């Protein structure tokens, strides 16, 4: 999930507010419409809601794709707060993650979807989250500023465990820190099987000497029989 899609900007800034979620919805809405492949179901939270944190209307981009026992959640934890770095106030949004714990917000939407899955009685073993922010950050990036604070992570963990055992959750595919990295998403021993796959940025870097238009950093996820069998991290010049 793209963080700055919450507040898009051009090379000169020029965006008065965090309305990128509406643009994202308009651009990708048809991708969530039927017909879907056999055995695939999709739920897309394509509606606006009042955001009491910033007294604005937000259009949280949350969706669920289910294929048999594989469930993918695309989650919008992106803040709608502008950056505080001088000169960047009108460029994108800040780096932190927010739970949006209010009606229509991400946390409550996710809890409701997991509740419906649990009520179905199915035995899910492959629930995966797709989101901009990872849970574990590098030591130079304080999670309180650049991601989920310890308290936010605790709230998410407790909510997840109320719906399914930890073994049902396979991992999270994220970005944010502009690096490729694979490891444990949470530090608690009981969550050791919950994997974090980080994907590098889809833009050029000076030291690569590759035109930005030909740069790609992405992860190719291979699924077989409802299970993720490989996450291939691809970096460098590619024709997409």
Taking a C-beta distance cutoff of 8 angstroms, is the pair 222, 233 a contact?
no
Which pLDDT score, from 0 to 100, does residue 131 have? 97
Which structure tokens are listed for 28?
């990708």
H or E segment and range at residue 22: helix 20-28
Residue 21 predicted with pLDDT over 50:
yes
pLDDT digits (tens, 9 = 90+) for 35-47: 999 989 999 998 9
Q: Tell me the C-alpha distance between 119 and 2, whole Å.
A: 31
- In this prediction, residue 114 carries a pLDDT of 97
Closest CA to 168 of 214, 118, 127: 127
Spatial contact of 210 and 236, defined as CB atoms under 8 Å apart: yes
CB proximity list for 6: less than 8 A, separation 6 or greater: 18, 20, 21, 76, 78, 79, 80, 92, 93
How far, in Å, CA of 36 to CA of 86, rounded? 46
Rg (CA), the chain: 18
Map out the domains of the chain with their CATH numbers.
3-204 (3.30.750.180)
CA dihedral angle for residue 80, residue 84, residue 90, residue 91, rounded to 10 degrees? -80
pLDDT of residue 12: 42
Which band of pLDDT confidence, cut at 50, 70 and 90, is reported for residue 212? low
Split at pLDDT 50, 70, 90, the class of 135 is: very high
**CB atoms < 10 A from the CB of 116, how many?**
12
> What is the average pLDDT score of the chain?
86
Q: Is 40 helix (H, G, I), strand (E, B) or coil?
A: strand
Instruction: Specify the 3-state DSSP secondary structure of 183.
Output: strand
pLDDT in tens, 146-187: 999 999 999 999 999 999 999 999 999 999 988 889 999 999
In Å, what is the CA distance from 68 to each residue of 43, 73, 122, 150, 225?
14, 14, 10, 33, 9
Query: What is the pTM for the complete model shown?
Result: 0.87
């Amino acid at each position: 999930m793209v963080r700055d899609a919450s507040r898009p900007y051009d090379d000169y800034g020029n965006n008065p507010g965090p309305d990128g979620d509406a643009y994202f919805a308009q651009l990708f809405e048809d991708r969530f419409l039927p017909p879907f492949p056999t055995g695939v179901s999709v739920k897309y939270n394509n509606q606006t809601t009042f955001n009491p944190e910033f007294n604005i209307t937000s259009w949280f981009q949350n969706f669920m794709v289910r294929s048999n026992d594989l469930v993918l959640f695309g989650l919008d934890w992106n803040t709608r707060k502008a950056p505080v770095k001088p000169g960047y106030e009108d460029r994108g949004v800040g780096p932190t993650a927010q739970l949006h714990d209010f009606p229509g917000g991400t946390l409550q939407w996710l809890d409701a979807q997991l509740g419906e899955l649990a009520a179905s009685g199915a035995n899910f073993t492959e629930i995966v989250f797709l989101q901009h922010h990872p849970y574990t950050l590098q030591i130079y990036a304080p999670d309180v500023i650049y991601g989920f604070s310890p308290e936010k992570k605790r709230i998410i963990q407790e909510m997840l465990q109320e719906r399914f055992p930890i073994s049902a959750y396979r991992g999270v595919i994220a970005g944010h820190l502009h690096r490729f990295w694979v490891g444990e998403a949470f530090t608690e021993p009981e969550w050791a099987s919950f994997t974090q796959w980080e994907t590098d940025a889809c833009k050029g870097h000076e030291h690569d000497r590759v035109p930005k238009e030909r740069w790609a950093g992405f992860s190719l996820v291979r699924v077989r029989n409802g299970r993720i069998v490989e996450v291939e991290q691809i970096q460098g010049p590619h024709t997409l």
